[in-house]
Amino acid sequence: MEIGVAKPSTVLLVSYHFHPSNEIGARRPTALARFLVAKGLRVVVVSAFGHQHVESGGELSRGIVAIPVKVPPRTFIDALVAMKRNAVRTDRVDVIPDGGQQPAAVRASASRLISHLRGLFFRLLYFVDQYKKWSWQASKAAVRAGREYDATLIVASAPPDSTLLAGAWAARRLGIPYVPDLRDPWSDSLSWAYPARRIELRLLRILERWVMRSAAAVTSTGASVAALLAERYQGLGSRIHVIRNGYDGGIAPRLSHTDGRLSILFAGELYVGRDPFPLLSGLEWLLARPEVDSARVQVTFMGNASSYDGQSLQAWMQGKRCASVVRILPPQTPEGVAAAVAQSTVLLNLAQQQRLSVPAKTYEHLASGREVLLICEDDCETARLVSAVRGVNQVDPADFHALTQTLLDLYNRHVVRREVTAPAETDVSRFSRASANGDFYAVLASVAALRVAAEGSPAKHAASAAGSPRHGAGLDRTSGKRRGSEP
pLDDT score recorded for residue 193: 62
Ranges under pLDDT 70 in the chain: 1-6, 74-128, 192-196, 454-487
Domains and CATH numbers, the chain: 10-72+130-247+432-469 (3.40.50.2000), 262-427 (3.40.50.2000)
| Tens digits of residue pLDDT in 256-271 | 899 999 999 999 999 8
| Tens digits of residue pLDDT in 157-179 | 999 999 999 999 999 999 999 99
d(CA 209, CA 232) in angstroms, rounded, equals: 9
- pTM equals 0.80
